[in-house]
Amino acid sequence: MRRRGAVQRKVPCLFVTEVKEEPSAKRERQPFKVLATETITARAIEADIYSAIPTEKVDGTCCYVTTYKGQPYLWARLDRKPNKQAEKKFKQFLYSLEDCKEFVWNIEEDFKPVPDTWIPAKDIEFCNGNPLPDENGHMPGWVPVEKNSKQYCWHSSVVNYEAEIALVLKHHADPGLLEISPVPLSEILEQTLELIGTNINANPYGLGSKKQPVHLLVPHGAFEIKNPPALKQNDILSWFEGCSEGKVEGIVWHCNDGCLIKLHRHHLGLCWPLAETYLNSQPVVISFNRAKYDCDFEPKSLFHHFSNLDGQRFDRLQDIKFNA
C-alpha cells in the first residue's frame, strides 16, 4: 500500500449552495454556476464556525512538504482522474440523478496512470488496499517536485534541496508588512502551502514578468483576517465589496476540530481576479541572509536574485524587480 500524504479534501462552503443555469449566451462556456444561499451548512455549525479563525484564501496551486529520498521535499498536487471512457460513464450516471455513491469504479482499469512516486491524500478512503475516488471521481494526491523538473519548473524554482530551504511569503513581525525569506523545509514539514506567481492562475497578484518570473510559497492560514465580517451573507457581501481587506479571492475558516470551511467570491456572484488585491496593497521586505547557507545559488535562480535584494523594501509585491 502506498503511503498517504497531507489531507487535501474538497473544502466545504460556508453556505448551502444551489446550482443556477447561466443565460443561453454563456452555455457553451459553462451551463451553470454555483451560488450560495443564506443558510449556513450543518457541517460549518458542527465545526463551530463561530469560533473559527478566518484567513485569506490565496489564489495559487496547492503544494505539500513531506519527506522523499530521506529529506524534506516539495510535492505538487496531482489528482488521479478517470480515463475518457470511465468519465463518460460516470457523468451519465450523475445526470441520471442517481446517488453517485452507488457508482462502482474499476480501480485497475478506469483511471489514468500516475507516476510511481504518486501518493494519495490522507483522507482518501481505501478498499482492498486501493484508494477510492471522491464524489467528483478524482483521487487527490501528490508527486515529488524534482530539481530542474520541466513539468513542475515553477514549483522547483521556489525550493533549493542542497540548502533545504523554500522561498516563503508571510507576515513580517511589524504589523502591516509582508516578508519574503528563505524558510527551512524542515520547519514546514507536513504542511500544505499555496504556490503563487507569474505563471500560476493568470497571476492575480502581478508577480514578476515573462522575462523575470517570480514565484513564492504561502503557508495555508498564513494571512489571518483581522476585521472579519459577521457570518451573514449580506455582511460578507458588503465586506468583499466595501473594504480593502475584502479584496481577496475568498475566506477560509480554520475550525478548532481541524475542519476547513471556505467561501469564494464566485459563490456570491462577485468577480475574481480584481485589478487591485489586498495582498498586493501591503509593503514587503526581503530578508535573506546569504551567509547562513553553505552553498552557491545558481546565478539565474530566484534564491540568487532575492539574496541580492536582502534588506530592501517595496511598496507592493508587483514592484519587486531584479537587477539585470
The secondary structure of 138-207 as a DSSP string is: -B-EEEE--TT-STTHHHHTTEETTTTEEEEEEE-SSTT-EEEEEEEGGGGTT-EEEEEETTSTT-TT--
Q: What sign for the dihedral angle of Cα 229, 233, 234, 238?
A: positive
Q: Report residue 25's pLDDT band, with 50, 70 and 90 as the boundaries.
A: very low
For the chain, how many residues are written? Answer: 324
Count the Cβ atoms, other than its own, within 10 Å of residue 244: 11
Q: Is the pLDDT at 309 greater than 50, yes or no?
A: yes
Residue 319 lies in a domain: no
Residue 262 lies in a domain: yes
Q: Report residue 168's pLDDT band, with 50, 70 and 90 as the boundaries.
A: very high
CA–CA separation, 33 and 45 (whole Å) = 25
- Indicate the Cα dihedral angle 63, 69, 70, 74, nearest 10°: -10
Residue 115 lies in a domain: no
Q: Cell numbers 480554520 label which residue?
A: 254
Residue 176 lies in a domain: no
Cis, bond preceding 219 (omega within 30 deg of 0):
no
Predicted local confidence at residue 300, as pLDDT: 95
- Measure the N-to-C terminal CA separation of the chain; round to a whole number of Å: 50
Residue 206 lies in a domain: no
Q: Are 196 and 60 spatial neighbours (Cβ–Cβ below 8 Å)?
A: yes
Q: Is the pLDDT at 2 greater than 70, yes or no?
A: no
Q: What is the pTM assigned to this prediction? A: 0.91
Domain count across the chain: 1
pLDDT in tens, 259-271: 999 999 999 999 9
pLDDT in tens, 203-226: 999 999 999 999 999 999 999 999
Identify which has the larger pLDDT, 33 or 58. Answer: 58
- Indicate the Cα dihedral angle 26, 32, 37, 40, nearest 10°: -130
Percent of the chain with pLDDT over 90: 77
Q: Where are the beta strands (DSSP E) in the chain?
A: 15-21, 32-40, 53-57, 61-68, 71-77, 119-120, 126-127, 130-131, 141-144, 159-160, 165-171, 178-184, 192-197, 215-219, 250-254, 260-264, 284-286, 313-314
State which residues form the domain around 254. 1-56+222-273
Residue 236 lies in a domain: yes
Measuring CA to CA, how many Å separate 1 from each of 69, 71, 129, 141, 238?
Answer: 18, 21, 6, 14, 49
Predicted local confidence at residue 1, as pLDDT: 39
Q: Whole-number mean pLDDT of the chain?
A: 91
Residue 126 lies in a domain: no
Residue 149 lies in a domain: no
